[in-house]
Structure 1
Amino acid sequence: MLLKKLAALFMVAALPSWSPVARATDVFRLEGIGAVSRSMGGTAVAYDVGPGGMLTNPSTLSLSQSDRQVLLGFDVVSTDISVENRRTGEVADSDVHNNNRGPYLAPTAAFTQRLGDLVMGIGAFAQGGLGTEYGRHSFLSRGTGGANTGLENSSRLLVLDIPLAASYRMTDALTVGASLDVMWQGLNLDLLLGADQAGSLISTGRATGTLVPALGAIPGLQGAHFSLTKNQPIGSGVDAWGYAGRLGMLYQLSPATRLGASYTFKSQMDDMEGDATLTAVSGVAGQIGLPGEIRIKDFRMPAKLDIGLSQRVTPQWTIAMDISRVFWKDVMKDIKVGFDADAGGNLDVVLPQNYRDQTIVALGTSYTLSREWTVRAGLRLATQALRDDTLFAVVPATPTKHLSFGFSYTTSPRGRIDFAYSHALLEKMSNSSTPNTSEPIRVKHSQNNATLNYIFAF
């Protein structure tokens, strides 16, 4: 409990201007923490990326030449997401319909301290999330039968990571590191399921509880809508605290070659809980709202294995490569929802996801032009974790290909500005299968991410 209170205080102090979540691009994860890593395709396992390295390989903290570092910065993410109804040709665009979602600003803060061969660090980082805003009047808001319900379809997931990290140089060649992370995650969700989707869930045993017969008895049932949203910059309809951690190592193979490896453990999270409204949509009786409490069960971030290599080709030029395996299959088989109505009755829904494990290859390069200027570029390629037949319009975490570039400008012997721009290339996926869609849909998703950091070393 004390750890949670300290984490909450640090979040409030470090992120006073938090705006809605940045959409992640390795499913729910950002494709690199900090501007140095982001500009080099997300590489961070065997290369000095600054304090942000504690979220990938904490042993890289020992690569800093300074006794202390302070990192302040932010990400700005702008997305282009649309969903096409392949039967009618209608298009629903994810856009800014209210102040609940993007463009997205995610501030970052971190501090490191060297104590001889030991380096300690603490930070507050947006690890990832997602967000969509389709409004109330697209085809996604129509119930079975074609009537417009005026009910919203939207999402916002925010994952905040607050690591306490340490790196220790054991020999001239070998450095080891570890972190213990306090984590918070919050979810806003508005989701309309058509009567055919609800029927599919019931017939396959994925919707159970005492409210199932009551929903089935409603005359002219056209759909069911879940709303668990707080229309606030930080507030989430449901949220939870938990923890995770990682281990890392760094080995100097030669004066110019460095090998790194790290393992991030699967997060251990409480169920996300909060208030919600379940609205039954009837062509005869209209809309029947049931307020209650809702739980999103066993929603966790996956374990991840990273291996990286960096090579200094010349005193000015360095290249880096990371290979990562992200174990999504273990944590995203289903989205489990439990609802208890205030007036009595319960409903348990299991939405299929069946994510695949993901392999990511990241390539980056850095070149020092002068004492003040360093330029960087990168490429990031990943396998697709989502499956077509379980794709949700409100969970389009589909991009797999990224191009990036950036620079550092040294403003003084102690200060440096880092900038990165990353572009997620357009990705297309389609789904025509219940229960996750009623209409056959094609989702198109691309996005731009700009990252600006200031590092003060002393």
Structure 2
Amino acid sequence: MITNKKYAIGSLLFSVSFNALATSDVYRFVGHGPISAGMGGAATAFDVGVAGIMTNPATLSLAKSGSQVHVGMDAVFVDISVKNTATGESLDSQDHSNNRGPYVAPQLAYMYRGERFAFGAGAFARGGVGTEYGKNSFLSRATGGLNTGLEVSSRLMTLNIPVAASYDVNERLTIGAAVDAVWQGLNLDLLLGADQVGSLLGSGRARGGLVPVLGGLPDMRGAHLSFTKNQPIASGADAWGMGGRIGLIYKFSKDTIFGAAYSLESSLNDMEGDATLTAIDGVAGQIPLNGKIHVKDFQSPAQFNIGFSHKFDDHWMVAADISRIFWGKAVKDIKVGFVADNGANIDIDLPQDYKDQTALSLGVAYTRGDWTIRGGARFATQALRSETLLAVIPSIPNTFGTLGFSYKLSPASNIDFAWTHSFEEKMRTSSLPTTSAPFEVKHAQDSASIAYVYQF
């Protein structure tokens, strides 16, 4: 649990308040900071400012000498719809609650570049996902068409607070490293039908003292799990942990740079919080149980990047990154443990079995006078499997187009901006235990990233 002191620290770092995050590439933003975002997410082998601490800390040494302050935000506008393919009913994820959408996340950082060393620290949203389906749709109906009037929604947020340094080994080689404090918070309102619960029991994915209690109900129709806080920062369950990355850049020439970086899988404690498990019965009605929730071993994956950049002249520059994101090890199951106030418990393992993902980021920049114009694209393989798709976590877009610019307000300051469009992706599922009714998800979105940078 987050202590009052940690809340105070978090409130200070979140100088730009925000409601929630939404996913861009699974649970991660395409790029961190407007420069990377405008270049299709490429960031491993060129100067993206202090936001480089989130991808390759060695790129800090590409900055100009002196100090740099970065203050900005990301805003994400999500278009998610779900269709029951058996009945034809459809619904959109909308703003049914005050803690979801439009999604806004902070950027706040400082760096100093010396003769051979550079240092940086900041707070950046790593990513997340958010959905809000209300309480009157087919997703809120239990087995047998029983309307429950219970919410179905989600909100996952991950915030990284890195401290980074880089060192010029020689004129060509620079190395860098970062250590992150990581905070993760989750809100979840999820309804499982009786057939889903039965499937989990039959496969050994549901166990504990509450299992025979649920099984003993006269007309068991489902179970609803809820742990949600309608607050800008606090979540129903949360945890702190650690992360980090190492990186290098090698200058083949002043115009051609190679970069490589490896981000470690996070080491987060189990997310914990207060929760309500509601048993739904056709005869006895709804039977709520209050207790504590534990979301176990939910980690951000490791990632390996290699990248190149090349300046053709004073105007044109191109960059490319290839990334391998190791989702397969990080997200096998969503493991949820609930302990009622009376001591009875149930453990549920929702299968996910994500696939490792490969992504290609491409970007081009053109500079003329006080303006730099950027464009890019990102193409990624699909990490989610249709048979384990959850309507509350439809993180399926994997093709993106980006545009951006920088404008010098003065010799010491500039405004950076980027717009990212996530092209619509569709996925269908009809598999137990992830769903009772067959459905199709459509997910597209747009996001804007803006930052003010001051150098001194």
User: What is the TM-score of this pair, normalised by structure 2?
Assistant: 0.98
- Say whether residues 1:209 and 2:208 are aligned partners: yes
Conserved? CA contact 1:265–1:302, under 8 Å: yes
The Cα shift of 1:315 comes to: 1.6
| Displaced runs of 4 or more, over 6 A | 4-7
Conserved? CA contact 1:10–1:124, under 8 Å: no
Equivalent residue number for residue 448 of structure 1: 446
Distance 1:6 1:98 in 2: 27
The Cα shift of 1:14 comes to: 2.9
The Cα shift of 1:16 comes to: 3.2
The alignment partner of 2:252 has SS state of strand
Q: What is the correspondence of 1:298-309 to structure 2 with a 5 Å cutoff?
A: 298-309=297-308
Q: What is the correspondence of 1:37-52 to structure 2 with a 5 Å cutoff?
A: 37-52=36-51
Distance 2:404 2:9 in 1: 29
Equivalent residue number for residue 27 of structure 1: 26
Conserved? CA contact 1:210–1:346, under 8 Å: yes
Equivalent residue number for residue 56 of structure 2: 57
Conserved? CA contact 1:22–1:75, under 8 Å: no
List runs of 5+ in structure 2 lacking aligned partners.
none
Equivalent residue number for residue 426 of structure 2: 428
**Which amino acid counterpart does residue 350 of structure 1 have in structure 2?**
D
The alignment partner of 2:142 has SS state of coil
Greater shift, 105-114 or 17-26, is seen at: 17-26
RMSD: 1.4
Give the share of equivalent positions with the same residue, in percent. Answer: 54
Greater shift, 58-67 or 300-309, is seen at: 58-67
The Cα shift of 1:255 comes to: 2.5
**Which amino acid counterpart does residue 417 of structure 2 have in structure 1?**
F
Judged with a 3 Å threshold, the aligned counterparts in structure 2 of structure 1 residues 422 and 208 are, in CA distance, closer, same or farther, namely same
Equivalent residue number for residue 296 of structure 2: 297
Equivalent residue number for residue 176 of structure 1: 175
- Say whether residues 1:410 and 2:408 are aligned partners: yes
Equivalent residue number for residue 101 of structure 2: 102
Distance 1:220 1:92 in 2: 28
Distance 1:14 1:349 in 2: 34
Distance 1:7 1:257 in 2: 43
Equivalent residue number for residue 457 of structure 1: 455
- Say whether residues 1:394 and 2:383 are aligned partners: no
Q: What is the correspondence of 1:53-452 to structure 2 with a 5 Å cutoff?
A: 53-370=52-369, 372-452=370-450
**Which amino acid counterpart does residue 143 of structure 2 have in structure 1?**
T
The alignment partner of 1:41 has SS state of coil
The Cα shift of 1:454 comes to: 0.5
The alignment partner of 1:96 has SS state of coil
Distance 2:174 2:16 in 1: 36
Distance 2:28 2:160 in 1: 11
Conserved? CA contact 2:70–2:109, under 8 Å: yes
Judged with a 3 Å threshold, the aligned counterparts in structure 2 of structure 1 residues 261 and 171 are, in CA distance, closer, same or farther, namely same
Distance 2:47 2:4 in 1: 31
Distance 1:220 1:16 in 2: 50
Distance 2:314 2:219 in 1: 73
Judged with a 3 Å threshold, the aligned counterparts in structure 2 of structure 1 residues 225 and 23 are, in CA distance, closer, same or farther, namely same
Conserved? CA contact 1:7–1:182, under 8 Å: no
User: What is the TM-score of this pair, normalised by structure 1?
Assistant: 0.98
Q: What do the CA deviations read for 1:399-449 (whole angstroms, capped 9, x no partner)?
A: 100000010000001000000000000000111001011100100000000
Distance 1:11 1:344 in 2: 32
Judged with a 3 Å threshold, the aligned counterparts in structure 2 of structure 1 residues 8 and 47 are, in CA distance, closer, same or farther, namely farther
The alignment partner of 1:61 has SS state of helix
The Cα shift of 1:256 comes to: 1.6
The alignment partner of 1:276 has SS state of strand
Greater shift, 22-31 or 346-355, is seen at: 22-31
Distance 1:139 1:313 in 2: 56
The Cα shift of 1:10 comes to: 4.7
Distance 2:410 2:15 in 1: 27
Conserved? CA contact 1:321–1:363, under 8 Å: yes
The alignment partner of 2:198 has SS state of helix
Distance 1:403 1:64 in 2: 26
The Cα shift of 1:19 comes to: 1.5
Q: What do the CA deviations read for 1:106-157 (whole angstroms, capped 9, x no partner)?
A: 1210000123211110000000000000000000000000011000000000
Distance 1:259 1:336 in 2: 40
Distance 1:10 1:54 in 2: 20
The Cα shift of 1:232 comes to: 1.2
Q: What do the CA deviations read for 1:287-325 (whole angstroms, capped 9, x no partner)?
A: 000000010000000000000000112221000000000
Conserved? CA contact 2:74–2:105, under 8 Å: yes
The alignment partner of 2:197 has SS state of helix
The alignment partner of 2:146 has SS state of coil
The Cα shift of 1:21 comes to: 2.2
